[in-house]
């Protein structure tokens, strides 16, 4: 799985940072597991953001911002079942 941040500029000129989680082999939109805008709380260090920490990105993508709600499927101490994927 891959985690990404990307910036979207709306028609009003406002920029919004997003977080996305994708399968390694992207074939179509089903391989985008999560895509959501990041909120102000996602940029703050807190107990909630620590719980949402991604163990996979700790070493390889230290500057990558994850959602503080921990919505991403992989990178937690407990991984989802293979059946879910």
Mean pLDDT of the chain: 78
Structure-model confidence comparison of residues 46 and 62, the more confident one: 62
pLDDT band at 58 (very low <50, low <70, confident <90, very high): confident
Lowest mean pLDDT among 7-16, 25-34, 67-76: 67-76
At 43 the pLDDT is 79
Residue 8 to residues 1, 15, 63, 77, 78: CA-CA distances in angstroms? 22, 6, 18, 30, 31
Say if residue 81's pLDDT is above 50: no
At 59 the pLDDT is 74
At 74 the pLDDT is 59
């Amino acid at each position: 799985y891959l985690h990404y941040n990307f910036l979207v500029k709306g028609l009003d000129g406002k920029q919004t940072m997003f977080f996305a989680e994708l399968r390694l082999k992207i074939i179509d939109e089903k391989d985008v597991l999560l895509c959501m805008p990041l909120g102000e709380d996602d940029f703050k260090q807190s107990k909630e953001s620590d719980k949402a920490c991604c163990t996979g990105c700790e070493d390889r993508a230290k500057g990558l911002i994850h959602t503080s709600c921990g919505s991403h499927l992989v990178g937690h101490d407990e991984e989802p079942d293979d059946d879910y994927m």
